[in-house]
């Protein structure tokens, strides 16, 4: 296994019980909570350097629309999951560390299971061109920890928007209905921030960049117990293969 070694001994900073309760309440209400204070600064700096290294060696560009999310747009560079797993001991060691999993399980109130699909454990994305976005979508699995490693200024775009407590029907995603019937919560994250997201019931996207700028994230995905009982089709894995059957070429 190549790449940087494991993170320093102290991946996480201890949180008081009342802080865990506060974070859990926010997470269950909004489907998202900022957990930057949970991760030590050296760990966040090491992950950023590792993501930049992997992007420099393995980035692949994607520009497409996805049928299973109502033809919403994907425009960014990616490093797919298996490439990260094979080339970064740092990322894989953090992903499995009980010091991280314990607080996330306390916040969610559930056990986080390793993602049963190797192509969904990790994803590094870099938005870099005017118009780049990760359009409205859900996740197949319940939990994601998103490391915002580099963020553009707030007026440039790249902000996260969420509609919690929604459901994904891949045959009829009804995204505009959800947007019309529910409030849309918008979040700005600075470089170095980390947030925990309930991805399977939180409809979310990033606001397109209005000019060339850089937004880099690392996504770590875990399954809930409910996810282990489901079967998932592989026809919309756009990050792994730009030519999957659910994808269509982007018409700019």
Which residues, 6+ apart, have CB-to-CB distance to 79 below 8 Å? 51, 54, 55, 58, 59, 60, 123, 124
Q: How far apart, in whole angstroms, are the C-alpha atoms of residue 216 and residue 43?
A: 16
Q: Which pairs count as long-range contacts for 180-186, CB under 8 Å and 24+ apart, including other chains?
A: 185/30, 185/32, 185/161, 186/159, 186/160, 186/161, 186/162
CB atoms within 10 A of CB 20: 15
- Structurally, at CATH architecture level, domain 17-225 sits in Sandwich (2.60)
pLDDT of residue 250: 80
Along the 252 residues of the chain, how does pLDDT read in single tens digits? 345 555 456 899 999 999 999 999 999 999 999 999 999 999 999 999 999 999 999 999 999 999 999 999 999 999 999 999 999 999 999 999 999 999 999 999 999 999 999 999 999 999 999 999 999 999 999 999 999 999 999 999 999 999 999 999 999 999 999 999 999 999 999 999 999 999 999 999 999 999 999 999 999 999 999 999 888 776 899 999 889 999 998 865
């Amino acid at each position: 296994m190549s790449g940087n070694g494991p993170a320093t001994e102290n991946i996480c900073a201890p949180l008081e019980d009342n802080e865990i309760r506060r974070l859990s309440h926010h997470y269950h209400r909004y489907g998202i909570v900022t957990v930057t204070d949970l991760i030590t600064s050296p760990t966040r700096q090491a992950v950023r350097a590792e993501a930049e290294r992997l992007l420099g060696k393995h980035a692949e560009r994607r520009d497409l629309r996805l049928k299973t999310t109502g033809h919403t747009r994907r425009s960014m560079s990616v490093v797919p999951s298996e490439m990260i797993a094979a080339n970064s001991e740092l990322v894989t060691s953090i992903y499995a560390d009980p010091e991280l999993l314990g607080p996330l399980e306390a916040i969610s109130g559930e056990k986080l299971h390793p993602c049963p699909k190797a192509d969904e454990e990790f994803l590094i994305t870099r938005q870099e061109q005017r118009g780049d976005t990760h359009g409205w979508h859900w996740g197949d699995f319940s939990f994601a920890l998103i490391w915002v490693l580099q963020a553009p200024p707030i007026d440039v775009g790249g902000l996260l928007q969420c509609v919690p407590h929604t459901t994904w029907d891949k045959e009829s995603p009804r995204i505009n209905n959800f947007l019309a019937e529910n409030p849309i919560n918008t979040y700005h994250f600075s470089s170095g921030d980390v947030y925990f997201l309930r991805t399977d019931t939180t409809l979310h996207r990033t606001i397109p960049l209005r000019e060339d700028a850089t937004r880099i994230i690392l996504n770590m995905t875990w399954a809930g117990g409910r996810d282990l009982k489901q079967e998932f089709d592989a026809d919309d894995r756009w990050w792994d293969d730009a030519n999957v059957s659910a994808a269509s070429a982007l018409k700019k």
